[in-house]
Chain A
């Protein structure tokens, strides 16, 4: 079952207040009972004292005859108290007006002179409390008499009942009220969460720049809000790249498509020699091949973005791969009199064809940007553990620092005027990065004082 946090908090709050209030109610009830008990005991002790006093003043048999009257007088107005006096052999000498059946336990076990507790019982739906004690009379030689004082609790039973009802009613109301208040407090306390939800609900692709205001958020939620904002930043970044990519695609496709269209339609506008038609078709074919290469590259990148590129793993001798690539690019390097050196020897666990493509793209890029008579220096190095570092360094114009981080972006050209020169699709280095990432590696580039260096790092 799914409980909202508000309900959860309110229920917890209600449960705790209920427990506390119930305990408090029980405690107060007990206190009140104890209080009455003590009052009762004091009254009983008082009356016991009074009776003993009266008995002590009995000196003769005649005094004994007058005792009931004396005691009755003394007990006038104390309707709830009744006193009984018995001889040791069970003969009742005195019984006040309100006769009460005395439990045998009371008569059998007379207590101390000043009793510490009263015996309680119930009879005919009424509750009683009583003390008993042995009291010597003033008549010499007579055995001590048993005095029992009984208190009918009816007089304060009514009060206790009313008190209890009132107490539990108050407790119940308090619990209800506390629960309601708890719910309101929980709701109010969770208002920031709702406001976060509100902002989150308002965020769409067009409003990815919205952020949650951190200063209005309680301390407990700062971490959550920070995480949320960071997620938004990442999303915004990815989204921006994606939309840049889409518009780049549109832009990159527009030029060749518009060339194709113009050329084809101009070609069709009048009748030409077959030589001219052939020329047009050949040119179209070249343009289309470039387009199809671009589409294949973009698909590769799209798959890489979705982690759909799973490199086949085998031991790859990177030095051997580079040597093959150098053999392939040798004619280009010779044309430009570029000196290429290669040092080091390492193996790497990876997909041979993909790695070859990744390194090939960096190499062809280096050859393209190295001036005639320049140099390219390739170095392979084993780094700590199983790490591998490949650096490809070439002489040439220093690339301004602001371009460096974006060199691996799709269609990014440091120098816009070089656009379309050299047949590149503008995706080579982006593909390199994707392949290297799929192999858990990192690419980086630095460029200072006429030397540009691409580094690929694994492990």
Chain B
């Protein structure tokens, strides 16, 4: 599993700062991220958030825009002005273009509009964290006896050649690159098909089912798993 990134980075857990004033949201985010293997600090207002961001070392900051006292924009500005290059993902309740543009101009790396799916947040967080680390570009991706050759664009399992369509190949590549991570449908749609709107169809389910038929049906162990209510994950079962 040369490419399976865990949250253990050089033996040390990644540190995330959450700045969120809504108590329940803050608690759930902290719990969710902690259970995903991150070390999490939670600031409940902009002032504490700014203080922590400037004094502690974090790998990523989750920043709510609407905060009492010092708002998210000001926190973001303060971080950037202090010359800190930490990835910042901002959370906004307003789906305004201006908001997005403002955030990205101020130096945010990504944004999520509330309400968002936790799986989506987790996927984005991991993408941002991965951006920093310079993993060697692999030529093959593997899981158990499944092998995907990026250069020759060939997939084999147990030595048997599997024919995939271009999109199936892209889907499998995404699942393999991020094995162990639950990928929400919206993320799959945007990464594999470049569809950035929420489709009200079950395209992803059908596509995954077809991929499974080719990759998993005739083999053991089953690698691609549905996580109900969250999305799909490719991982080698531990019992195996």
Binds A, one of B18-26, B35-43, B154-162, B197-205: B197-205
Nearest-neighbour CB distance to chain B for A237, whole angstroms, equals 27
- Whether A331 lies near B229 (C-beta < 8 A) is no
**Smallest CB-CB A-B distances: 10 pairs:** A285-B229, A282-B228, A282-B229, A292-B115, A357-B197, A328-B193, A424-B200, A331-B206, A364-B201, A331-B207
A248-301 contacts to B (CB < 8 Å) = 278-279, 281-286, 288-289, 292-293, 295-297, 299-300
Residues of B with C-beta under 8 A to A310: 97
Starting from the known contacts A284-B229, A288-B115, A357-B197, 17 additional A-B residue pairs (CB-CB under 8 Å) come to: A279-B228, A283-B229, A286-B229, A292-B117, A297-B198, A300-B95, A324-B193, A327-B167, A328-B203, A330-B167, A353-B196, A356-B195, A360-B199, A367-B201, A423-B201, A425-B200, A428-B200
CA distance A422 to B193 in the complex (A): 21
- Whether B203 lies near A332 (C-beta < 8 A) is yes
Partner of B228, one of A283, A297, A300, A423: A283
Residues of B with C-beta under 8 A to A332: 201-203, 206
Q: What is the total number of residues of chain A having a CB less than 8 Å from a CB of chain B?
A: 41
Interface string of B52-88 (1 = CB under 8 A from A): 0000000000000000000000000000000000000
- Whether A296 lies near B113 (C-beta < 8 A) is yes
Nearest-neighbour CB distance to chain A for B230, whole angstroms, equals 7
Nearest-neighbour CB distance to chain B for A122, whole angstroms, equals 89
Interface string of B200-240 (1 = CB under 8 A from A): 11110011001000000000000000011110000000000
Residue of A nearest to B95 (CB): A299
Nearest-neighbour CB distance to chain B for A264, whole angstroms, equals 13
Residue of A nearest to B165 (CB): A330
Residues of A with C-beta under 8 A to B196: 353
Q: Does A164 sit at the interface, judged by CB under 8 A?
A: no
CA distance A361 to B198 in the complex (A): 10
Between A and B, 5 residue pairs with Cβ closer than 8 Å are: A292-B115, A325-B195, A331-B203, A331-B207, A332-B201
Partner of A360, one of B95, B116, B195, B206: B195
Residues of A with C-beta under 8 A to B230: 282, 285
B residues contacting A by CB (< 8 A) are: 95, 97, 113, 115-117, 167, 189, 193-203, 206-207, 210, 227-230
Nearest-neighbour CB distance to chain B for A306, whole angstroms, equals 12
Interface-central residue, B95, B113, B195, by most chain A CB under 10 Å: B195
Residues of A with C-beta under 8 A to B197: 353, 356-357, 360
Q: Does A329 sit at the interface, judged by CB under 8 A?
A: yes
Interface string of A333-376 (1 = CB under 8 A from B): 00100000000000000000100110011001001100000000
CA distance A335 to B193 in the complex (A): 18
Interface-central residue, B194, B196, B201, by most chain A CB under 10 Å: B201
- Whether B97 lies near A331 (C-beta < 8 A) is no
Nearest-neighbour CB distance to chain B for A48, whole angstroms, equals 104
Nearest-neighbour CB distance to chain A for B59, whole angstroms, equals 27
Residues of A with C-beta under 8 A to B206: 331-332, 335
- Whether A328 lies near B228 (C-beta < 8 A) is no
Residue of B nearest to A309 (CB): B97
CA distance A281 to B230 in the complex (A): 10
Residue of B nearest to A290 (CB): B200
Known: A281-B229, A286-B229, A289-B229. A331 touches B210 (CB 8 A): yes
CA distance A300 to B113 in the complex (A): 12
CA distance A332 to B202 in the complex (A): 8
Residues of A with C-beta under 8 A to B194: 324
Known: A284-B229, A286-B228, A324-B194. A293 touches B203 (CB 8 A): no
Residue of B nearest to A354 (CB): B197
CA distance A454 to B156 in the complex (A): 44
Partner of A368, one of B97, B201, B210: B201
Nearest-neighbour CB distance to chain A for B190, whole angstroms, equals 11
Nearest-neighbour CB distance to chain B for A233, whole angstroms, equals 33
CA distance A425 to B202 in the complex (A): 13
Residues of A with C-beta under 8 A to B202: 332, 423
Interface-central residue, A281, A289, A425, by most chain B CB under 10 Å: A289
Partner of A293, one of B95, B198, B207: B198
A213-259 contacts to B (CB < 8 Å) = none
Residues of B with C-beta under 8 A to A279: 228
Known: A282-B228, A327-B167, A356-B197. A295 touches B97 (CB 8 A): no
Interface-central residue, B97, B194, B203, by most chain A CB under 10 Å: B203
- Whether B117 lies near A364 (C-beta < 8 A) is no
Residues of A with C-beta under 8 A to B201: 329, 332, 364, 367-368, 422-423
- Whether A295 lies near B189 (C-beta < 8 A) is no
Residues of A with C-beta under 8 A to B116: 292
Nearest-neighbour CB distance to chain A for B95, whole angstroms, equals 6
CA distance A332 to B228 in the complex (A): 21
Interface-central residue, A278, A281, A282, A331, by most chain B CB under 10 Å: A331
CA distance A193 to B87 in the complex (A): 66
Residue of A nearest to B198 (CB): A293
Known: A364-B200, A364-B201, A423-B202. A327 touches B228 (CB 8 A): no
